[in-house]
Structure 1
Amino acid sequence: MVIKEINCKTAISKCKFPDGGWAINPYIGCSHGCIYCYARFMKKFTKHTERWGDFVDVKINMPEILSKEIKKERYKNGNIYVGTVTDPYQPLEEKYEITRKVLEILSEYPYPVSILTKSDLVLRDIDILKRFKNVDVNFTLNTLDEDWKNLVEPNSPPIENRILAISKLKEENIKVYAMMGPFWPFFSDAEELIKTFKVLGIEEIYTESFNTIGGTFTEVEDRMAQYYPNILPRMKEILFNKDNFNNFYSLIRENLFELSKQYGIKINIYFGRGHSKFKETTFTSSSYDV
């Protein structure tokens, strides 16, 4: 792992999520090493030569920069997302506490804030989260298969840790959403995941199809060739054949809507082949509000 301490010029950038808003990323890179991560596109801008997951740049001056920037009027409009291209609670956060300092600053303002993470380290900052007027934690949980999780998210926290963290946050009356994405063929069990979310008290979830652009499937293919050789051909047929892709995710979409009604959970769906995250989707982004 190559770790560098750097100074950033700005702390907030425009967010490219469907609803727009603002993004804050305390780190460049992520040591969770998720082999499907769309954020690897950052390398072409940062000029890192290391493999994705093997480097992290720590923006040590971010709290200082943020404390000045956040006073500008434009940030009153739109949600602020913490961790759009990095996990703000990756292991280095335990040492550097950049995310904690960022949240301390944001808690002084009434702006809505969403934290995107896979890590139970977020529990450390419950004391700060409870100061916010409008904050939520969006936990990524796209499979209950620990073997698959370990294969594609090798250094991320165990599934059990995430479930326990969600439960604890709910106990503290902190709003939690679940990100069931990417929705994997073969390894994402829609009903089992939604049943789990229901038990945890989550009222709204998000899901997206696997994004194949930017070389995100290369390492997945290598790992599957080694550990799931019998499934790999069918996985490729689904993800890279337009008709197969549309048929598969269309069926999943309908199934999710039925499960949404059955379990009383709102589901926001973003499915589309070869898309740039949420743009030019095969299916328009939809939700079923029960």
Structure 2
Amino acid sequence: MHYLNDSAAIFKSIADKMPPDGIVEKADIRAFFDELLKLTKGLVIVDFIDTANWDVIEKYELLDDGLLDLTWHDYREKEERPEEKEVREVVFPGDRHALALYVDSIKPISAPNVAIFLINSYSKTEKEIRALYSKGADEFHYEDGSFFEKRVVRRNSGVLEFIDFHCAPIYSLALIPKRTGIKSYDSRFILYKFNCEQCLARLEKVSSALHGLDLRDRDEISAGVVTARRVFEFLLKVECCYAGLEVTKGYSGMLLGDLITVVKRGKDEKARAELGRIAELANNYAHDTGKPVTKEAAFEVVDLITNYVRKLHITIGR
């Protein structure tokens, strides 16, 4: 297959060999990138959840601790005339431009003749990112780009690097074949909708488990609601990214109360009341309040959260 003309077929052939739930093992992820970059010569589209995008992956590195580094452009070994370098540095001022994340999983999304791949990561704090990249650097600068992405600029032994670090455990990257007509805005909707669909799948498991519990299984009932609460926190963080809402803490520091305070701004009274009810019920089950633990209340909070997710899913699809 031709690395460019048959890009869609290459993606589909790789996806067909993957488990439907995707890959998580480092050996599988390395094999995935080895094959993808070999067959496409790195000519793939990388779309970000904020509609930014790349047109190539020059190389990748996956460390044993899960740190995945994708290089967009590396000029260190490229021959450039002085005038070429001067023009290039207007757009790409660094010696290397890359992104990095601690990879969790890569999931295929397949259609009859094409496939794309979605990537998510683990959360990292500003302190952890600084510690990772500032050590040994001659110069170091950290930029708080967005809720899900931070920028690191560092110079080490004369090499200037720009690294966009994806620090939120959401599906924020899509690998897209060339010449399919899929635009960055399409990828944005795909990523946001997929994050919502993951929430709905998790909530369905909670609901199914609750149906099988006895009225006296209070710890298990509470555990189900706590799981639903975590799903809701995740969903509200996705909404913050989607709506471009300003947050005051890092991903791990934003808890349910913080998130509701942010997202309820601009919502109508009915939506604000629903958010308040979810918080009230979720808190009752997350702490030792001494209040009754019932399946009815557990189902109420799970249903309220599920409906909230569905509404956001519909909003994203408009």
Query: Same fold by TM-score, threshold 0.5 exceeded?
Result: no
TM-score (norm 2): 0.29
Greater strand fraction, Structure 1 or Structure 2: 2
TM-score (norm 1): 0.30
